[in-house]
């Protein structure tokens, strides 16, 4: 059993989907949790209530993770409240919309890269301040199976950004290993979350499911369990790795 008793965790994009499931799972393991959201305040409050019912502390953190100044302020507020930052799950991201590269606008490309790559850089950079000072911490990034496959149609910008996260994970792990900070990533396959509700039509989703050897799509709880397991490896040997959670796909 993983125990995070006495630890704190900050989860970006924590109001719905994988982020919400991970926030609750981290609290179930004993952590106090910061719940970042941008627009979905009602959903974020629901996650907060679930965590508080577990007897853990929860903090709502409204922040656009694509804005470095807001990110710096969010991390500062988190540390002011909890006194330490042990785990960062940089989960926020999204496809925004599907578009073939030949028809993709500059704006779409930059939006996707900002949301899935720039935001992680800003959040990790801010989190490293207190982690390096304490000489401890675990950074977990949310990559994607798309980093390996190129995506599921009309999603090259997303796949490219997620592929960059895999390299970012490896490089940062090498950079901060001697400082007591470990860096890993989870890479979900097709997972039943609001992500696909917005950008994947039913016929495409049916095809995705048919390609999964285990016979079902992933659920947010599947990814959350891996996040908690990685977070619980406080003095562990795993760093620089990307764990693909794809049902065999």
Catalytic site residue 37? Answer: no
149 three-class SS? helix
**In 68-130, where do the E strands start and end?**
87-90
99 is written with which tokens? 């578009």
What is the spatial distance between Cα 148 and Cα 208, in angstroms, rounded to a whole number? Answer: 15
139 contacts 181 by C-beta, under 8 angstroms = yes
Residue 249 contacts residue 211 (beta carbons within 8 Å): yes
Catalytic residue of the set 37, 122, 158, 244: 158
- C-alpha to C-alpha distance for 43 and 97, rounded to whole angstroms: 22
Separation of alpha carbons 55 and 33, rounded Å: 11
Q: What share of the chain is helix, strand, coil (3-state, %, to 5)?
A: 50, 15, 30
Distances (CA, A) of 114 to 87, 93, 123, 144: 22, 9, 12, 16
Rounded Cα gap, residues 211 and 206, in angstroms: 9
C-alpha radius of gyration, the chain, whole number: 17
Task: Identify whether the C-beta of residue 8 lies closer than 8 Å to the C-beta of residue 85.
Answer: yes
- For the annotated catalytic residues, the residue numbers are 158
């Amino acid at each position: 059993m993983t125990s995070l008793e006495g630890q704190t965790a900050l989860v970006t994009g924590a109001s719905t989907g994988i982020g919400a499931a991970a926030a609750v799972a981290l609290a179930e393991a004993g952590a106090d949790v910061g719940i970042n959201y941008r627009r979905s305040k009602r959903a974020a409050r629901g996650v907060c209530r679930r965590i508080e019912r577990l007897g853990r502390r929860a903090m709502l953190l409204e922040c656009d993770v694509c804005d470095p100044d807001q990110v710096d302020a969010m991390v500062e507020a988190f540390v002011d409240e909890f006194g330490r930052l042990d785990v960062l799950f940089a989960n926020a991201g999204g496809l925004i919309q599907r578009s073939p590269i030949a028809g993709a606008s500059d704006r779409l490309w930059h939006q996707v890269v900002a949301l899935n790559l720039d935001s992680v850089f800003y959040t990790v950079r801010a989190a490293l301040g207190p982690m390096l000072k304490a000489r401890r911490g675990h950074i977990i990034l949310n990559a994607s199976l798309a980093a390996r496959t190129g995506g599921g149609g009309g999603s090259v910008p997303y796949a490219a950004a997620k592929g960059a996260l895999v390299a970012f994970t490896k490089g940062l792990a090498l950079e901060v290993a001697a400082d007591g900070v470990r860096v890993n990533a989870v890479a979900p396959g097709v997972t039943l979350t609001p992500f696909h509700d917005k950008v994947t039509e039913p016929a495409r989703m049916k095809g995705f499911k048919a390609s999964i050897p285990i016979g079902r799509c992933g659920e947010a709880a599947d990814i959350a369990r891996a996040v908690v397991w990685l977070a619980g490896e406080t003095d562990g040997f795993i760093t620089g790795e990307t764990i693909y959670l794809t049902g065999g796909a």
